[in-house]
Amino acid sequence: MISVEQIRALEGRVEKALAYIASLKTENADLKRKLELAEGELRRSAQRAAELEAAADAFRRDQARIEEGIIHALEKLDAFEDLVIRAADVREVSRAPAVRSDEAPVHASIPAAALADGPQANAAAQVAPVAAAPVAMATSLPASRSADELSPEELEVATAPESSATPVENELDIF
């Protein structure tokens, strides 16, 4: 038969099992709570990663637009420099005699008033065609002058916008 000692040993085992089950339930609840916290942190991290990726993409797009704007501005500055140099060449050629005597002078297309000195020369120089510049550079290579060395009238002529059918957009407007 079953003795009292066996019942007490069985009772001790049951108590130990219940205590172990209770500790496992507590540990399980703690692990579930930690899991929920980790999942919440994962969601927040995923949202933050998406936000950072969107910001990086926007930065790349803005960077590309800025680079395009800088390149466009540099192209405009190059064109402006070329125009100033051509205007200076036209003025230099108009003062220099023609290189070959058997050909028409390079400055023949420039009004005579533009070749003279004084106020009439400034007014005529403003209407002098810039088309003679390539011919002038081909026959005579005068020393180029910087924009600082040009008179205000020469700069105005050199910076006058070329006539075109399309409206000029603001080249500095990159956004």
Q: pLDDT tens across 8-46, in order?
A: 999 999 999 999 999 999 999 999 999 999 999 999 999
Mean pLDDT of the chain: 74
**pLDDT at residue 87 in the model:** 86
**pLDDT at residue 170 in the model:** 52
Q: Give how many domains the chain has, as a whole number.
A: 1
**pLDDT at residue 133 in the model:** 41
Tokens representing 127 are: 């209407």
Which residues in the chain land under pLDDT 70?
Answer: 96-148, 150, 155, 157-175
First to last CA, the chain: 96
Rounded distance between C-alpha atoms, residue 134 and residue 93, angstroms: 11
**Residue count (the chain):** 175
Rounded distance between C-alpha atoms, residue 24 and residue 162, angstroms: 87
Element (H, E) at 18: helix 4-95
- Cβ neighbors of 175 (< 8 A, separation 6 or more) are 65
Domain contains 174:
no
Do residues 172 and 73 make contact, with C-beta atoms less than 8 angstroms apart? yes
Tokens representing 130 are: 């810039």
- Cβ neighbors of 24 (< 8 A, separation 6 or more) are none
Instruction: Domain of residue 144: give its range.
Output: 4-159
State the CB neighbour count (10 A cutoff) for residue 158: 21
State the CB neighbour count (10 A cutoff) for residue 86: 19
CA distances from 101 to 97, 105, 139 (A): 9, 8, 12
Question: Residue 151 has what DSSP assignment?
Answer: -
